[in-house]
């Protein structure tokens, strides 16, 4: 979570509230697949970041930061210097201020997000977690800086790398939490493509075969359904749904369900 100014930017008294309409499912599905195509066509990290920034804008998020939480993540991308912030569309002076104050050491978002299975909403931290004064300061300061509806998504690499991508709106708009599952899909694809372009890895994925039942479970997972809900839809037990999802994760070389969904979409195995 990285506010975008140092000298008390923005106004804490902003009264304007903008409520964006939630996009339709059909339109959002097309955006996800189009985003994957744009990432596949990108040949440089900046091109992937620009595609992610464009896609996030459809959800109302215009401030984005990618942070390497662990040294393994920093080293995996071949960074010349160990620095937590990989890329962000925020002013450099604020990033310097963030580092100078060692915010990454006690930023509650960076500390908590890696332990989450899905997106973490910053406001939930203020309401539901006992924070230290320093941690609370980071969250409140980010809001004063004009970052609203902050959400952070955990991203994990195949060799133990841990990243966090954080997004925020520029207005105190109402958040459509129903979009967070789709936003997570986009973020996972962003990390896969960003890593690929940094490492100059052009190896094509091997052919993968999944069963019809695995395809159904992955498709409903992509639509934000839990294993319990998928079981009700397909007439299966929750245990059976989890079994099919775990098998598909192994086949797709994924460390979690959302990575399996992204891999399946990229290979044309499912269409969310």
Which 3-state string (H, E, C) describes 110-157?
HHHHHHCCCCEEHHHHHHHCCCCHHHHHHHHHHHHCCCEEEEEEEEEC
Question: What is the tally of structural domains in the chain?
Answer: 2
Q: Report which of residues 18 and 151 the model is more confident about.
A: 151
Average pLDDT, the chain: 79
pLDDT given for residue 239 in this prediction: 95
CA 108 to chain centroid: 17
% of the chain residues with pLDDT over 90:
26
| 157 vs 107 pLDDT, higher one | 107
92 shares a domain with 156: yes
d(CA 99, CA 265): 37
Give the residue, 83 or 160, on which the prediction is more confident.
160
Please state the rounded mean pLDDT for residues 247-256.
88
pLDDT of 213: 94
Confirm whether 139 is domain-assigned. yes
Residue 114 belongs to what domain range?
25-199
Domain boundary among 199, 228, 245: 199
Please report, rounded to a whole number, the percentage of residues in the chain having pLDDT higher than 70: 81
The domain that holds 256 is classified in CATH as 1.10.10.10
Judgement on whether residues 82 and 56 belong to the same structural domain of the protein? yes
Nearest-angstrom CA–CA distance, 72 and 29: 33
Q: What is the pTM of this model?
A: 0.65
Task: Report yes or no on 184 lying in a domain.
Answer: yes
The CATH number given to whatever domain includes residue 47 is 3.30.450.80
Provide CB contacts within 8 A for 212, sequence distance 6+. Answer: none
pLDDT of residue 12: 37
Q: Cα-Cα-Cα-Cα dihedral of 27, 49, 60, 266, to 10°?
A: 30
pLDDT in tens, 79-92: 645 455 677 776 56
Structure confidence at residue 68 (pLDDT): 85
Residue range 34-81, pLDDT digits in tens:
888 898 888 888 899 999 999 998 888 988 989 888 877 877 776 645
109 and 168 share one domain? yes
Provide the pLDDT for residue 24. Answer: 39
Q: Is residue 191 part of a domain?
A: yes
Is 237 domain-assigned? yes
| Stretch among 4-18, 103-117, 143-157 having the lowest mean pLDDT | 4-18
| DSSP-H helix ranges across the chain | 25-41, 45-58, 71-76, 92-100, 103-106, 108-112, 122-128, 133-144, 180-199, 212-222, 227-234, 238-251, 257-266
């Amino acid at each position: 979570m990285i506010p975008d100014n140092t000298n008390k930017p923005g106004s804490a008294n902003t009264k304007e509230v903008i409520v964006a309409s939630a996009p339709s499912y059909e339109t959002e599905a097309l955006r996800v697949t189009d985003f994957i195509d744009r990432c596949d066509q990108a040949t440089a990290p900046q091109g992937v970041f620009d595609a992610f920034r464009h896609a996030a804008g459809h959800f109302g998020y215009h401030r984005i930061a990618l942070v390497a939480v662990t040294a393994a993540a920093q080293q995996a991308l071949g960074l010349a210097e160990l620095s937590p912030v990989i890329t962000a569309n925020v002013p450099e002076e604020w990033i310097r201020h963030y580092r100078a104050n060692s915010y990454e050491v006690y930023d509650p978002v960076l500390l908590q997000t890696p332990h989450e299975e899905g997106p973490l909403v910053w406001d939930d931290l203020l309401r539901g977690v006992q924070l230290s004064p320093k941690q609370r300061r980071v969250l409140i300061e980010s809001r004063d800086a004009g970052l609203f509806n902050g959400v952070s998504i955990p991203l994990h690499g195949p060799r133990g790398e841990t990243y966090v991508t954080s997004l925020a709106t520029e207005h105190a708009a109402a958040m459509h939490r129903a979009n967070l599952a789709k936003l997570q899909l986009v973020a996972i694809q962003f990390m896969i493509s960003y890593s690929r372009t940094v490492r100059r890895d052009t190896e094509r994925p091997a052919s993968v075969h999944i069963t019809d039942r695995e395809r159904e479970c992955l498709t409903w997972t992509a639509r934000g359904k839990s294993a319990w809900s998928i079981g009700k839809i397909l007439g299966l037990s929750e245990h059976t749904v989890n079994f099919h999802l775990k098998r598909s994760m192994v086949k797709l070389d994924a460390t979690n369900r959302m990575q399996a969904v992204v891999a399946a979409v990229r290979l044309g195995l499912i269409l969310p």
